[in-house]
Amino acid sequence: MSHPVAHASHSALVEPPHPSPEAEEIYRRWVQFLDDEFSRHSSAGSRSEIVRDQLHQIYLGRPHGGKMDATLTSELPGNVMSLSLDPTNITLEAEHFPDVDRARFARLKPLIWFWKMFDRSAIGLNHWLGLRVRAMLGRHIFEQLGAGVRIFHGVDITYGYNLSIEDGAIIRQCALLNDRGGIHIGKNAVVGSYVRIFSHAHQPGAQRGVRLQPTTIGAGARIGSHEIILAGQHVPEAAIVGSFPADSL
């Protein structure tokens, strides 16, 4: 005898899962602390120190400080790890691009490094916390970040300052937002997992020449997983690019 397959009702999904009240209170305090610190300190040096201190706690479980012994070969891996938690000791690909606004990017680089390293840490896999940390960072990094935007784990950004995301948009995991020439994502748009959105193109016949072209994703548009949106494209409002799984009934 066959039995009907039970499907979860939409009403059962209205209330998302939450951490325990104690954990939620601590999470919110930490995100607010970071938000306040990044708001008070806009210089590259001050933000690098904040990020360095936070990443030492996240990755090494101890505050930054103490003299390292650089003479012992056995301590070299630990020294490399410790030094690499400081944004002033790392380089990002964006710094090699000739069109980068170096002064502007320098102020954002510590926050972008924190974004990347948070997502690669154990706590970066905490979905509830991760959505809030990325939203907080996005308000400091992006040209615009609307209300209710959800950015999932592993999303990669290039400059950050050329990225504008309107209210209610969703960016799924591991999407690439290469905003060298500018990317605008409209209200309630959905960018699927592993999507690649570009805003620059290489000049024909020139290995190093680059043409910057702003790219727009219209309000309510949906970009399916693994799709590629090339520079200069304008995806119309409510358009669907790619395919999506059929809705469960």
Q: Is 131 exposed, middle or buried (0-12, 13-18, 19+ CB in 10 A)?
A: middle
**Residue located via tokens 């090699």:** 96
Element holding 226 (H helix, E strand): none
Q: Which of 151-155, 206-210, 231-235, 240-244 has the lowest mean pLDDT?
A: 206-210
Our count of domains for the chain comes to 2
Categorize the per-residue pLDDT at 244 as very low, low, confident or very high, splitting at 50, 70 and 90: confident
Residue 3: pLDDT over 50: no
Average pLDDT over residues 191-196: 98
**Contacts with 199 (C-beta within 8 Å, 6 or more apart), sequence order:** 162, 178, 179, 180, 181, 182, 183, 212, 213, 214, 215, 231, 232
Would you say how long the chain is, in residues?
249
The confidence score (pLDDT) of residue 69 equals 78
Which one-letter amino acid corresponds to residue 234?
A: H
* DSSP conformational letter for 247: P
The confidence score (pLDDT) of residue 171 equals 98
The pair of structure tokens assigned to 61 is 């479980």
The confidence score (pLDDT) of residue 206 equals 56
Instruction: For 132-181, write each residue's pLDDT tens digit.
Output: 999 999 999 999 999 999 999 999 999 999 999 999 999 999 999 999 99
In a 13 Å sphere around the CA of 161, the CA atoms on its Cβ side amount to 13
- Residue 12, Cβ neighbours under 10 Å: how many? 8
Residue 207: pLDDT over 80: no
Categorize the per-residue pLDDT at 16 as very low, low, confident or very high, splitting at 50, 70 and 90: confident
Q: Is 130 domain-assigned?
A: yes
Q: Are residues 197 and 129 in the same domain?
A: no
The confidence score (pLDDT) of residue 208 equals 66
The confidence score (pLDDT) of residue 65 equals 85
Q: Are residues 110 and 148 in the same domain?
A: no
Q: Is 11 domain-assigned?
A: no
**For residues 117 and 110, what is the distance between their CA atoms, to the nearest angstrom?**
10
Residue 56: pLDDT over 70: yes
Q: Are residues 106 and 208 in the same domain?
A: no
Q: Is 15 domain-assigned?
A: no
Q: Maximum CA pair distance of the chain?
A: 74
Residue 219 belongs to what domain range? 144-243
Identify whether the C-beta of residue 211 lies closer than 8 Å to the C-beta of residue 201. yes
The confidence score (pLDDT) of residue 48 equals 98
**For residues 148 and 213, what is the distance between their CA atoms, to the nearest angstrom?**
27
**Contacts with 77 (C-beta within 8 Å, 6 or more apart), sequence order:** none
Examine the fold and report which residue of 116, 141, 166 is the final residue of a domain before the chain moves on: 141
β-partners of residue 171 are 151, 191
